[in-house]
Amino acid sequence: MEFRLSDEEEAFQSAVRRFGDRVLRPNEAEIDNRGAIPASVLAGMAELGLLAMPVPERYGGIGASAVLTELAAEEIGRGDSSMATAVFFLLEAGWGHLLARFGTEETRTEVLPPVCAGKAFLGIATTEPTGGSDLAAMRTTSRRDGAAFVLRGEKSFISGVEEARSLGGGHLTLTKGAAGGFNFLYVPTRTDGISTQRFHNMGRMGISTGSLTYQDARVPEKYLVGAESKGFECAMEGFRIARTFVAAACVGAAERALETGMAYIRERPAFGQPLGKFEGIQFELVDLWTQVEAVKWQCRRAAWLLDTYTLKGDTAHRSEVDRAVAAVKLTAPPLAFECVKRVMMWFGAAGYTTDVGLERGLRGIMSYLVGAEGGLNIMRIILGRELLGREFLPYK
Ligand SMILES: Cc1cc2nc3c(=O)[nH]c(=O)nc-3n(C[C@H](O)[C@H](O)[C@H](O)COP(=O)(O)OP(=O)(O)OC[C@H]3O[C@@H](n4cnc5c(N)ncnc54)[C@H](O)[C@@H]3O)c2cc1C
């Protein structure tokens, strides 16, 4: 067992942390206020190889392991705790990897290089207005018509709808196939018959969320990801990967909040001594730090499991992977939320101001509590299924 990062991993982690300190933190307020990630930030990420980093070099990525990507996700969550940059990062990493693995050669060479260069967006579209947890009940259809699929329906609460229209790019889209089963398709947003609408969220303002409506939108068959009618399992693999990076970004945001809090309670006087001298505050810090440290290593182990099994196509250890991934997606977001909330309270009234900026983290992390990349109860259902067996699933 080896708990130390390799020299290469440590050097990469330091480089991404420097990027977070020098580029993300100074831009954090603007990302939140302007409603977009500045082009200069995306260019900086592309230069460091941070966009869709697991994608192989021949398609423009750096062929990074899940562990290296997890480390980068921690740093990006730490640099922009509003989560906007982290969402952009992890969507491209998770779904870029999936397209590189299961897309056709023509689609990989067409779609991935601009995504890795920060010149196009790649996201995921599964959720619909009638629900996101119960994917089997989805209504959007894809009907084969010659060498194309024709899409009808609507996806809702989809990250990056505006970025995919303005920058170019699209979403890996899960649809019901006419032949039964699910078709997973890359769908460029600038396709005739697709309209988008941005929703008004409370947080992670730097990346859009909205709907995609398909009115007989034609997508060439080369955009099929995985086999026809077999798209569901393919999408689930993407979620295993993306959820690990969501949890890692939350760990980074939690560590940043605790560091901000520690600097403050070392200095802020109350009753003649620094706040940090009072056990009521100090013990809270210690309890939170201990939990973050545990979840951080759980995240790294989940990434290691992905490298060791999932990314090599080994399905024999799927249960172990599912348990590890669902556990970190279940614990990291609420823990990060709690860290930010507690530190805001240590700051007293100042914590409630937008100048201190802790509230950006609170608003952003909340997206993962309400459902982004799978609701917390869905993680509990996955864990219950893996611990007790499929016969204990609470639905048929
Ligand atoms: C900011 C943001 C960005 C998002 N980006 C994307 C995206 O890019 N692509 C995409 O496809 N989706 C995206 N989503 C949607 C997300 O995947 C869904 O929110 C999630 O799947 C839950 O679906 P829902 O919101 O329809 O809630 P529902 O499925 O209606 O569930 C509502 C609540 O009930 C709980 N619940 C559901 N079933 C059960 C059960 N059997 N037992 C107990 N509790 C249950 C859920 O956990 C949830 O808390 C995003 C969401 C947010 C908030």
Q: Which residue has the tokens 């929703």?
A: 199
The span from the CA of 150 to the CA of 167, in Å, is: 24
**Could you report the per-residue pLDDT of 280-331, keeping only the tens digit for each?**
999 999 999 999 999 999 999 999 999 999 999 999 999 999 999 999 999 9
Beta-ladder partners of 121: 169
> By the 8 A CB rule, do 225 and 99 touch?
yes
Question: Which H or E element spans position 269?
Answer: strand 269-270
Q: How far apart are CA 30 and CA 82, in angstroms?
A: 11
CA separation for the pair 206, 23 (Å, rounded): 15
Distance 284 CA to ligand 1 centre (A): 31
**217: amino acid identity, one letter:** A
What is the average pLDDT score of the chain?
97
Contact residues of ligand 1, CB 6 A cut-off: 123-127, 131-133, 157-159, 201, 209, 367, 370-372, 374-378, 381, 394-395
pLDDT score for 180: 85
pLDDT for residue 227: 96
User: Are 115 and 169 contacting, i.e. CB atoms less than 8 angstroms apart?
Assistant: yes
The percent of residues in the chain predicted with pLDDT above 90, rounded, is 97
Per-residue pLDDT, 396: 75
**Amino acid 178: pLDDT:** 85
Q: Report the nearest atom of ligand 1 relative to the CA of 373.
A: 17
Which domains occur in the chain, in start order? 7-121 (1.10.540.10), 122-223 (2.40.110.10), 231-392 (1.20.140.10)
> Which residue minimizes the CA distance to atom 46 of ligand 1?
375
Instruction: Please report the DSSP string for 10-65 in residue order.
Output: HHHHHHHHHHIIIIIHHHHHHHHHHTS--HHHHHHHHHTT-TTTTS-GGGTS----
The pair of three-digit structure tokens given for residue 293, joined into one six-digit string = 């440290």
- The protein residue whose alpha carbon is closest to atom 52 in ligand 1 is 372
Please tell me the predicted confidence (pLDDT) of residue 395: 83
d(CA 77, CA 245): 10
CA of 246 to the centre of ligand 1 (A): 15
Of 185, 234, 201, nearest to 371 by C-alpha is 201
Q: What is the CA radius of gyration of the chain?
A: 21
At residue 390, the pLDDT reads: 94
For ligand 1, atom 43, which residue shows the shortest CA distance? Answer: 377
pTM for this prediction = 0.97
Tens of pLDDT, residue by residue over 248-266, are 999 999 999 999 999 999 9
Residue 307 burial class via C-beta count within 10 angstroms: exposed 0-12, middle 13-18, buried 19 and up: middle
Residue segments in the chain with a per-residue pLDDT below the cut of 70 = none
Give 78 Cα–ligand 1 centroid separation in angstroms.
25
pLDDT tens digit string along 341-365? 999 999 999 999 999 999 999 999 9
